[in-house]
Amino acid sequence: MAAPHVIDGLQYANWSEKVFRQMRAGGVDAVHVTIAYHEMFRETVLNIEAWNRRFERFPDLICQAFTADDIRAAKAAGRTAIAFGAQTPAPIEDDIGLVEILHRLGLRFMQLTYNNQSLLATGCYEDRDAGLTRMGCEVVAEMNRVGMVVDMSHSAERSTLEAIEHSRRPIAITHANPARWHPARRNKSDTVLRALAETGGMLGVSLYPHHLRGGSRCTLDDFCAMVADTADLMGVARIGIGSDLCQDQPDSVVEWMRVGRWTKKIDYGEGSADAPGFPTMPDFFADNRDFPRLAAGLHAKGFSDAEVAAIMGENWLRFFDDSFGPAA
């Protein structure tokens, strides 16, 4: 029997041959990579061009994934498949037609918000959550049509629930944890997680320290206990990994992520004024070579081989099968 797939639902590393070789060393078969935080359409195309150069330079290590079958082919060839995603709707600007254009270029995920209010929905750092806008409803329908996953990882509660209700296809929260485990603004309520599971959606549990109880001091045992508790709430079939790994990034990048061009002030987001940069990763997950440690931790919590395989990647693969193509 072929080994199960290992898939990460979100990363934004400082991409390099070192990182790609670590992916291979960790047995990572596919990664959803962020190509935009605040970038508009043309800037996003430039980021895609940069990825095209990486695919040319490292064809033995990585390749682009447009479909779930591309991930299967990459695994068979010993490569890591890369699927593009945007943590912002900025690349479509105010033009719904750009949804289809970006999908043709390989964009397979798009968040309706990144922390702030957007033209589509409300971010988790706003005081007032107005839910999906009129344009938001139209864009969700267009994303459903072409096969682009609606991602609500950085969205506020009402907006997330309305996206789940409005979308004709299951949505994803690619990188977040339950708020009852750790009450970060980005983590999600039981109400959201139940609604996500009931509609066939996916949660990618996050290893970013600001989303973890205990932060950088979180232990593998505590993390896997959280996964077990979340599985009791949502069902094993609705959970994957969404590490939110930002490996080797300089602190200037986290400033761009939080501030973009929307303010002149420094916004510390989920961090603190004492530690404005990237937090230190927990010692059990420093980079892609540590994916086997996650699997071992899940086994130690009592998950079966089939359940571990599902959480480590097979659930994402099934979701991609159903999500990356045009609506039937």
pLDDT on residue 1: 64
**Cα separation, 32 vs 69, whole angstroms:** 15
**Cα separation, 304 vs 293, whole angstroms:** 15
Question: CB count, 10 Å around CB of 214?
Answer: 12
The three-point CA angle 222-295-17 to 5° equals 110
**Cα separation, 175 vs 190, whole angstroms:** 15
**Cα separation, 314 vs 6, whole angstroms:** 7
pLDDT tens digits for the chain (328 residues)? 678 999 999 999 999 999 999 999 999 999 999 999 999 999 999 999 999 999 999 999 999 999 999 999 999 999 999 999 999 999 999 999 999 999 999 999 999 999 999 999 999 999 999 999 999 999 999 999 999 999 999 999 999 999 999 999 999 999 999 999 999 999 999 999 999 999 999 999 999 999 999 999 999 999 999 999 999 999 999 999 999 999 998 888 878 788 888 888 877 665 544 456 788 999 999 999 999 999 999 999 999 999 999 999 999 999 999 999 998 7
pLDDT on residue 262: 87
pTM (two decimals): 0.96
Give the position of tokens 């750790």.
182
**Cα separation, 275 vs 38, whole angstroms:** 22
Residue 81 burial class via C-beta count within 10 angstroms: exposed 0-12, middle 13-18, buried 19 and up: buried
Q: Is 15:61 a contact under the CB 8 Å cutoff?
A: no
The domains found in the chain, sorted by start residue, are: 8-323 (3.20.20.140)
